Structure 1
């Protein structure tokens, strides 16, 4: 895995063992192509961050800050290592459950990314559906801000009572959803 573009472009990053399915370079490139200039100077929140690849890419492309959130110690220590290796400033790593973090964090963000474990079988937790139903999500997202989530292509698109779905794109077994705060 590597950072694709920006000031830390081409730097290889470490992926923790706990991350079974890191977002591929191809999918990350597609996400940042969709977002375009909205990344520059943005305040970013990377939920279920894993290796931190999405947030690292945002910082490399000019985001002013990024809070990386994951409940696994292996992930948070890996993100810290990746931040240091890439020499990117503005990153802060938090070990926490992502939904609980949203409920207690008072900050607002221009971009919120979520790449949770996929819903695969009946009875699995649908993290993206739960995030979209959480009143704290639109409260943490600036008006006009974007929420970007990765789900399995087998899943239907969850709905939001507040956020507007702008785009749904499929890349192999991954689907990218882009929502906007009206």
Structure 2
């Protein structure tokens, strides 16, 4: 069962697509959002949840005060589950883009304060680097990027203007943090 950890929707359940997704565990989300909220105020933040799956990261951000979340998911069934989760939770401040992360970052507009990228572990480092380079021009001046990977993965190749902050391992999951450089 996947639930929202805290905020206005805390404790509410999320439906998960029947296959092909790996929702971020509650333990990891709780730690991730504790760190994120220590770094920045989520109130009104524009959030991008790439490789969204059930939308656990984006919905957690909305529950904690984010202003809008854009969910990008290539699987049509998962995108429908995302739309259903938004309705069930009462979050009208969402957009669901049913396309690949690479297609989204090269074709869409908008600026983001927080970007979550939780690609399937099978997504290669080069493909992820291309997606991160594609989204870099649309990051606000103090945007935070959070990438979740398998713990055996190497740190993502951050785009120019983005500086790594830290990495933390939780069992078989690694979370990498980066932020737009002040001079970037």
Fold conserved between structures, TM > 0.5: yes
SS at match of 2:166: strand
* Residue matched to 1:139: 137
Displacement, 1:40?
A: 1.8
Q: Summarize deviations over 1:64-102 as a string: whole Å, max 9, x none.
A: 000111010111100111111111231111101111101
* Residue matched to 1:49: 52
Could you list the runs of 5+ residues in structure 1 that have no partner in the other structure?
A: none
Could you list the runs of 5+ residues in structure 2 that have no partner in the other structure?
A: none
* Residue matched to 2:174: 175
Choose which of 154, 157, 177 in structure 2 pairs with 1:156: 154
Aligned partners of 1:8 and 1:88 also within 8 Å: no
Between the aligned partners of 2:32 and 2:73, the Cα distance in structure 1 is 20
Equivalent residue runs for 1:22-171 within 5 Å? 22-36=23-37, 37-119=40-122, 125-126=124-125, 127-132=127-132, 134=133, 136-162=134-160, 163-171=162-170
Aligned partners of 2:21 and 2:54 also within 8 Å: no
Between the aligned partners of 1:150 and 1:22, the Cα distance in structure 2 is 11
Shift >4 Å, 4+ stretches: none
Between the aligned partners of 1:111 and 1:32, the Cα distance in structure 2 is 11
Displacement, 1:113?
A: 0.6
Displacement, 1:137?
A: 1.8
Between the aligned partners of 2:32 and 2:113, the Cα distance in structure 1 is 15
RMSD: 1.3
Displacement, 1:131?
A: 2.4
Between the aligned partners of 1:13 and 1:161, the Cα distance in structure 2 is 32
